[in-house]
Amino acid sequence: MSSNRISIILTSDKREQLQMAAMIASVGAVSGNEVTVFISMNALQYFLKDGPERAPAAGAMGEILERKKVPHFMTLFEQAVELGDAKILPCSMAMDVLEVGHQDMKPFVGEAMGLTTFLDDARDGQVWSF
């Protein structure tokens, strides 16, 4: 039996990885898939209300993405939530380490989730890691 669940683990702070994760989340969500994006480690900072807007490029492609003005990764994540069945969920452990709460997150970010719950939920679908 095929699942329509896409689970994304996002830990990178690099523009290319953030962009690719956002593209998979938005296209997956508007295509009728259930999408969960688990935000942790270095990626979490971009989902804070007062977090950085720009992510450093890992290579030439990241620089080209910015120069060509492709839709920003944060816009794509927000559209995935608004236009499809996507949930953007921060890692509870990473939030504890950074000493931030749900009130510190961007409005489209859902409640914190633990890794154990994420892995259990992701078991029957596609899992992507960036």
Domains recognised in the chain with CATH numbers: 5-124 (3.40.1260.10)
Q: What is the mean pLDDT of the chain?
A: 96
Strand partners, 10: 39
Output the pLDDT for position 1: 42
pLDDT, tens digit, for every residue of 68-127? 989 999 999 999 999 988 999 999 999 999 999 999 999 999 999 999 999 999 999 999
Helix (H) or strand (E) holding 32: none
Q: How confident is the model over 24-37, as a mean pLDDT? A: 97
State how far the Cα of 23 lies from the Cα of 11, in Å rounded to an integer: 16
For the sheet containing 5-10, what is the strand order? Answer: 85-90, 34-39, 5-10, 126-129
Output the pLDDT for position 98: 96
pLDDT at 3 over 80: no
